[in-house]
C-alpha cells in the first residue's frame, strides 16, 4: 500500500498569494531550505534535508515560492524581489530564533538577500551552486538578438531546459532583477559562518560565481568547497552526503 505525504500547510501573504510549506519542530538553530529557479520543495535536496533534520531533531522548513510547486500564482508573474520577500515572510512567520539558511542555485541568491535583510536572525548560510545574478549571465546574455527582440515584443517567452519543462522567461523578471544584483557591490555585509559548495563541472552557473561571492562577504568565516566532477544540481548520493555533512559541521560548530 502506497503511503502519500500529508498535504502541505499554507502561509497566506498580504498580497493574496499562499505559499505551500512543510515544517517540522526541533532544536535551534532551525534550518530553512530555499529552492532553485522552477524547482520545488519535493526535490531530492529538500527532501533529503527534511529527513536528515527530522532524524537529528533539528527544526526544518521547506516551501514553494509563488508560481512554483503547489503555491499559488503564475510562474511568469514572479520576480526576484517577490520571491525574496516570500523568503523573508517564511523566516518571519514560520520560524523563531536563529536560522541556518540553505539555498540552492537561485535559492542561494535569495538566501544572501534574506541574510542582508535580517542579519540578526541568521545563524549561518550554506549555498549550493550559488546563482547570484543569474538572470543576467544565464538568461539575458545567452539570448541572441532575435530572441531578445522577441522577448521585448512578447514580454514572455519559453526556452528549452536541460532539466525538464521549458523555462518561462519574462522580461519583467530580467528587468526587476537588476535592482537585486549582488556581484556589482563592493562588499556583502554578512558576518556569520558561510559555506559555499559548487561543482566545477557546472554547465549553468560558473563555479567562479561562488568565488566572487566569497570575496565580497565581510565574514572571515567563509569556505568554498569545490567538487571537481560536480554538476549544477549536486544531487548525486556523494553530493547529498557532502551537503548533510557540511550542514552538520556548521550546526555542531556553534
Q: Mean of the pLDDT values across residues 222-240? A: 98
Q: What is the pLDDT of residues 62-101, one digit of tens each?
A: 999 999 999 999 999 999 999 999 999 999 999 999 999 9
Catalytic site includes residue 72: no
Tens-place pLDDT, residues 117-129: 999 999 999 999 9
Domain regions of the chain by residue span:
9-132+184-249
CATH number of 9-132+184-249: 3.40.50.1820
By the 10 Å C-beta count (0-12 exposed, 13-18 middle, 19+ buried), 154 is classed as: exposed
Asked whether the predicted pLDDT for residue 242 surpasses 80, the reply is yes
Distance CA 239, CA 227 (A): 8
| Residue whose C-alpha cell reads 527534511 in the numeric block | 50
Place 1 in a pLDDT band, splitting at 50, 70 and 90: low
Which member of 68, 71, 232, 239 is catalytic?
232
Residue 30 grid cell:
532551525
Global pTM value: 0.96
Q: What is the pLDDT of residue 161?
A: 76
The span from the first CA to the last CA of the chain, in angstroms, equals 42
Question: How far is residue 78's CA from residue 180's CA, in Å, rounded to a whole number?
Answer: 14
Catalytic annotation present for 77: no
Task: Tell me the CA distances in angstroms from 72 to 84, 125, 173, one per residue in order.
Answer: 16, 27, 18
Nearest to 66 by CA among 20, 28, 110: 20
Q: How confident is the model at residue 254, as a pLDDT?
A: 57
Residue 121 β-bridge partners: none
What is the pLDDT at residue 5? Answer: 78
Please identify which of the residues 202, 204, 210, 239 carries the catalytic annotation.
Answer: 202
Mean pLDDT of the chain: 95
Selecting among 39, 104, 105, 210, the annotated active-site residue is: 105
> What was the pLDDT predicted at 53?
98
Arithmetic mean of pLDDT, 49-64: 98
Catalytic annotation on 202? yes
On whether the CB atoms of residues 174 and 140 are closer than 8 A, the answer is yes
Please report the pLDDT score of residue 2 as a whole number. Answer: 57
What pLDDT sits at residue 9? 98
Tell whether the model's pLDDT for residue 160 goes beyond 90.
no
pLDDT in tens, 179-228: 999 999 999 999 999 999 999 999 999 999 999 999 999 999 999 999 99
Amino acid at each position: 500500500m502506497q503511503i502519500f505525504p500529508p498535504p502541505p500547510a499554507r502561509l497566506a501573504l498580504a498580497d493574496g498569494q499562499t505559499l505551500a510549506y512543510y515544517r517540522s519542530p526541533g532544536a535551534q538553530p532551525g534550518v530553512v531550505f530555499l529552492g532553485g529557479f522552477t524547482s520545488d520543495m519535493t526535490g531530492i535536496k529538500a527532501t533529503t534535508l527534511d529527513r536528515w533534520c527530522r532524524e537529528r531533531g533539528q527544526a526544518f522548513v521547506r516551501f514553494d515560492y509563488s508560481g512554483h510547486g503547489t503555491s499559488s500564482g503564475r510562474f511568469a508573474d514572479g520576480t526576484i524581489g517577490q520571491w525574496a520577500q516570500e523568503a523573508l515572510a517564511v523566516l518571519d512567520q514560520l520560524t523563531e530564533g536563529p536560522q541556518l539558511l540553505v539555498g540552492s542555485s537561485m535559492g542561494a541568491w535569495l538566501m544572501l538577500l534574506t541574510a542582508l535583510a535580517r542579519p540578526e536572525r541568521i545563524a549561518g548560510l550554506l549555498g549550493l551552486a550559488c546563482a547570484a545574478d543569474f538572470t543576467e549571465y544565464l538568461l539575458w546574455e545567452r539570448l541572441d538578438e532575435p530572441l531578445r527582440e522577441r522577448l521585448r515584443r512578447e514580454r514572455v517567452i519559453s526556452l528549452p531546459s536541460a532539466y525538464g519543462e521549458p523555462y518561462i522567461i519574462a522580461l519583467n523578471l530580467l528587468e526587476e532583477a537588476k535592482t537585486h544584483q549582488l556581484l556589482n557591490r563592493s562588499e556583502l555585509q554578512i558576518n556569520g559562518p558561510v559555506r559555499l559548495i559548487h561543482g566545477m563541472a557546472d554547465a549553468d552557473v560558473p563555479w567562479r560565481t561562488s568565488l566572487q561571492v566569497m570575496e565580497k562577504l565581510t565574514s572571515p568565516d567563509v569556505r568554498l568547497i569545490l567538487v571537481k566532477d560536480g554538476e549544477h544540481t549536486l544531487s548525486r548520493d556523494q553530493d547529498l552526503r557532502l551537503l548533510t555533512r557540511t550542514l552538520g559541521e556548521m550546526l555542531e560548530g556553534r
